[in-house]
Amino acid sequence: MKTRISELLGTRYPIVQGGMQNVGYAELAAAVSNAGGLGILTALTQPTPEDLEREIKRCREMTDLPFGVNLTILPTIKPVPYEEYARVVCEAGIKVVETAGRSPEPFMPLFNQYGVKVIHKCTSVRHAVKAQSVGVAAVSVDGFECAGHPGEDDIPNLVLLPAAKAQLSIPMLASGGIGTGAQMAACFALGAEGINMGTRFLATREAPVHDHIKQAIVAASELDTALIFRPLRNTARVFKNAVASKVREIEQEAGAAMKFELIADMVQGAKGKVALSEGDVDYGIWTSGMVQGLIDDIPTCAELIERLVSDCQATIRERLQGLL
């Protein structure tokens, strides 16, 4: 299955694993790459740039196929040495970087120096156009359905993808709410040349999270996510558990007086990490997208990718061509 995305990435299929905090370790990235997609290590899951360097080496011991690194650039209370993480990526010979959050423009000279291809994740058409203007190789357009941060525009992919395609010349990945081959075919029809999946890869055997988390995703419906941080204009879609529900309650009660300090202890990243690793679904917040309503099993990454591609091709061949 060749598109500009698969040619850019050097992969068999135009399928990319999302860069998920506390999930994007070598085990998952290598499994996705070995199955024909592009696995992604999450840079900031590693406590230091030196730890990232070790994780890249560990991933190379598990696969000789291409994999990338996600670098999410966000304002933080504690300064993050983004430049050092970026330099580790470059000097380790990684050729594809997924950036998210703020514009990758300050890092483009370094990435260009080392021949690194940048895919920037965007939640709006204007951000995709800006990313193209600063020289990224591709964009990953993230619809409102996604897990994590969907932005503040609330535009789902059925509108967002063709709107972005109309203004882009570089290739586009569809991201957010995708987990089936029929959806993959729909993304192609809307102008994408590949897909990016997070939640669907979270519910695979190789995902380095507790089985209770995976089973919770399988049992959940598309209604079982929660949007938090909306009053702070930093919206995040997470699994609707006891903590997320309490955060929503506090946000609604506080109204215009809402401050992050009111919920800071509840939404600590460390608690979310414990939830994922120990399987206590309600211990902290953790991200999951609306696509969980379409997930009913926990396959290997190889089984999942082969199914996606087969179902995508069957959808195009049998459903769509049959209409003509």
Q: Which residue has the tokens 């994740």?
A: 121
**Residue 317: how many CB atoms within 10 A of its CB?**
11
Q: Give SS3 for 244.
A: helix
Distance CA 118, CA 5 (A): 12
Which of 297, 292, 203 has the alpha carbon at shortest distance from 240?
292
pLDDT tens-digit map of 15-25:
999 999 999 99
Quote the pLDDT of residue 323.
Answer: 82
Quote the pLDDT of residue 65.
Answer: 98
Least confident among 33-47, 133-147, 264-278, 310-324: 310-324
The answer on pLDDT for 74 being more than 90 is no
pTM of the model: 0.96
Which of 20, 22, 179 has the alpha carbon at shortest distance from 98?
20
Structure tokens given for 316: 């195009």
Which residue type sits at 186?
A: A
At 257, phi and psi to the nearest 5?
-90, 5
Which of 115, 145, 174, 148 has the alpha carbon at shortest distance from 42?
148
Residue 72 half-sphere exposure toward CB, CA atoms < 13 A: 19
Quote the pLDDT of residue 186.
Answer: 98
Which residue type sits at 13?
A: Y
Quote the pLDDT of residue 246.
Answer: 97
Percent of the residues in the chain that have a pLDDT greater than 70, as a whole number: 100
Q: Which residue has the tokens 């506080």?
A: 254
The answer on pLDDT for 75 being more than 80 is no
pLDDT tens-digit map of 180-208:
999 999 999 999 999 999 999 999 999 99
Indicate the DSSP class of residue 116. P
Could you give the domains of the chain?
4-208+301-323 (3.20.20.70), 221-287 (no CATH)
Phi-psi region of 198 (alpha: psi -120 to 50; beta: other; left: phi over 0): alpha
Quote the pLDDT of residue 320.
Answer: 85
Which residue type sits at 139?
A: V
Distance CA 111, CA 54 (A): 20
Distance CA 81, CA 211 (A): 33
Residues with Cβ within 8 Å of 97's Cβ and at least 6 positions away in sequence, in order, are 68, 69, 70, 71, 86, 89, 111, 116, 117, 118, 119
The answer on pLDDT for 73 being more than 80 is yes
Indicate the DSSP class of residue 160. H
Quote the pLDDT of residue 242.
Answer: 98
The answer on pLDDT for 83 being more than 90 is yes
What is the pLDDT confidence band of residue 78, given thresholds at 50, 70 and 90? confident
Question: How does the average pLDDT of the chain come out, rounded?
Answer: 97
The answer on pLDDT for 276 being more than 90 is yes
